[in-house]
Amino acid sequence: MLIILQIFVLVAVRSQEELSSEAMHDKLTGLPNRYYIASVFPRIMNRNSWLAIADLDDFKQTNDTRGHNCGDYILKTVAGIFRQQEGIEVCRWGGEEFLLAGSRKNLDILYKIQKEVGSWPFEYQGEKLRVTVTIGAAWYGEGQSIDEWINSADEELYKGKKDGKNRVSIRS
């Protein structure tokens, strides 16, 4: 009876760990999701930190013309590019948007990511695809709430989209 109880406890613990991991990670890309990043905000909110929102340009059009499987391929590939970057936090924010966070010493990584996505050899069903990303970023302002910080980055994203897409826009 004791052995059965121990097995039951082990199964319950593993199930809880798997559920927790699934709740904190995006199933398609494998990246952490917005629930995960919310848990790290308190650690990253300081005057030396930036927050960025990266949005794939014209992604809806790609999904509409080439299908959702093509869109999924692009999302997974871009997630892989983000995952390779060192020293930043990254998560899938939703849809074709990703949230990135880093420190003063690695702000240049946003330009690297923008160029890398734009030059990546995307190919789906024998067709070469051009994929670009616009990134809006903002430095953390003392006393700023998480929502205010995200809104600042989002405003810069919209500025970058309005200014022609495929660019990085940073609020100081």
Task: Name all domains of the chain by residue range, CATH numbers in brackets.
Answer: 30-171 (3.30.70.270)
Q: Using N-to-C axis directions, what is the helix angle for 59-66 and 68-83, rounded to 10°?
A: 140
pLDDT in tens, 55-97: 999 999 999 999 999 999 999 999 999 999 999 999 999 999 9
Q: Does this model's pTM top 0.75?
A: yes
Residue 2 has a pLDDT of 58
Residue 41 has a pLDDT of 83
Calculate the average pLDDT of the chain: 88
Position 9 confidence tier, pLDDT thresholds 50, 70, 90: very low
Burial 127-154 (b: 16+ CB within 10 A, else e): eebebbbbbbbbbbeeebeeeebbebbb
For residue 10, pLDDT over 80 is answered with no
Residue 24 has a pLDDT of 81
Position 34 confidence tier, pLDDT thresholds 50, 70, 90: confident
Residue 17 has a pLDDT of 44
Give the residue among 160, 43, 48, 40 at the shortest CA–CA distance from 111.
160
pLDDT in tens, 101-140: 999 889 999 999 999 999 999 999 999 999 999 999 999 9
Strand ordering across the sheet containing 168-171: 89-94, 97-103, 49-56, 133-139, 168-171
Q: Is 133 helix (H, G, I), strand (E, B) or coil?
A: strand
Q: Is 21 helix (H, G, I), strand (E, B) or coil?
A: helix
Residue 172 has a pLDDT of 75
Residue 16 has a pLDDT of 47
Residue 4 has a pLDDT of 58
The residue ranking higher by pLDDT, 35 or 128, is 128
Give the residue among 67, 74, 86, 61 at the shortest CA–CA distance from 28.
74
Residues 6+ apart with CB under 8 A from 26: 32, 33, 79, 91, 92
CA distances from 23 to 34, 35, 53 (A): 10, 8, 21
CA 43 to chain centre: 18
Residue 154 has a pLDDT of 97
Q: Is 61 helix (H, G, I), strand (E, B) or coil?
A: helix
Q: Residue 124 and residue 65: Cα distance in Å, rounded?
A: 12
